[in-house]
């Protein structure tokens, strides 16, 4: 497994992402970066005792939105790792916007289920496009509620029917309607700490609760190609539905290239940073 500073996905890895909607590359974070991320998570949890560890939205922003999470600059640095951006570039092209991050902390013993969903249902991005990089901060497997996905479910490039749910014990509040897809083909994403997976915005995924004695934390980076528009008007509607994010004041960072859409606003939300 490679931990080099620069990284490239092999042709086979790119093909897997295109075919299945998710790939786990050979690349793994250097031990030292992983240790810094884990220490940062300890600090974040200590500084935000009232925010659920199951999902902490936007730790890379000082003031993360309606959750009241107090974030820190170090999470923004982790979202700028050149090796990760090099691989993202292979998947979505050279113009890259960081528009979100989430820490799915899934504590040992009581970490919640993430219901089956497609990310695109939640997000105000048009044309809909995002590559999510899910970085394992702990070893993740079936026992502690690793990410699960339905290979190939992104291929039609279509959002299936979701419903809003207030079910107890889940993290997000929109889930795919039963009958919209076949869970039978789902696969576990088993990762060692420091490994990561990349997934497409249309890919069906979720995860089971954590009943084990081991935490299952992942830091997820959301990158869209700058050919797409982060539409804050639509964001107001979608954020009201989910209740835990602020898409209207969300700062965007153009990390590489130029804003091809010509419509993205990179000043909103930065005053507070």
Binding of ligand AKG by 207 (CB under 6 A): yes
Binding of ligand AKG by 149 (CB under 6 A): no
When binding is defined by CB under 6 A, the residue of 114, 131, 160, 201 that contacts ligand AKG is 114
Q: Which residues contact 107 (CB under 8 A, 6 or more apart)?
A: 53, 54, 210, 215
How near is the Cβ of 166 to ligand AKG at its closest, in Å? 18
Binding of ligand AKG by 205 (CB under 6 A): yes
Q: Which is nearer to ligand AKG, 188 or 265 (CB)?
A: 188
Q: Which is nearer to ligand AKG, 209 or 272 (CB)?
A: 209
How near is the Cβ of 119 to ligand AKG at its closest, in Å? 5
Total chain residues near ligand AKG (CB under 6 A): 10
Q: Which is nearer to ligand AKG, 64 or 272 (CB)?
A: 64
Binding of ligand AKG by 219 (CB under 6 A): no
Interacting residues toward ligand AKG by CB under 6 A:
104, 114, 119, 132, 134, 147, 205, 207, 218, 220
């Amino acid at each position: 497994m490679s931990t080099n500073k620069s990284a490239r996905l092999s042709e086979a890895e790119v093909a897997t992402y295109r075919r299945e909607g998710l790939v786990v590359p050979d690349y793994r974070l250097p031990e030292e970066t992983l240790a810094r991320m884990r220490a940062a998570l300890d600090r974040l949890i200590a500084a935000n005792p009232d925010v659920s560890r199951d999902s902490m939205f936007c730790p890379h922003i000082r003031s993360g939105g309606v959750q009241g999470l107090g974030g820190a600059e170090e999470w923004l640095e982790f979202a700028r790792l050149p090796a990760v951006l090099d691989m993202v570039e292979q998947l979505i092209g050279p113009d890259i916007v960081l528009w979100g991050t989430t820490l799915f902390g899934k504590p040992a013993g009581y970490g919640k289920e993430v219901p089956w969903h497609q990310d695109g249902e939640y997000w105000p991005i048009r044309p809909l496009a995002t590559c999510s990089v899910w970085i394992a901060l702990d070893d993740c497997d079936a026992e502690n509620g690793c990410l699960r996905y339905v290979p190939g479910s992104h291929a039609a490039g279509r959002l299936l029917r979701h419903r809003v749910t207030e079910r107890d014990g889940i993290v997000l509040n929109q889930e795919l309607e039963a009958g919209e897809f076949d869970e039978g083909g789902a696969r576990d994403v088993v990762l060692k700490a420091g490994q990561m997976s990349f997934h497409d915005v249309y890919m069906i995924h979720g995860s089971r609760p954590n009943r084990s004695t081991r935490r299952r934390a992942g830091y997820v980076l959301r990158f869209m190609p700058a050919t797409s528009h982060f539409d804050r008007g639509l964001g107001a509607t979608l954020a009201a539905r989910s209740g835990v994010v602020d898409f209207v004041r969300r700062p965007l960072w153009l990390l590489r290239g130029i804003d091809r859409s010509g419509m993205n606003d990179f000043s909103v939300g930065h005053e507070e940073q």
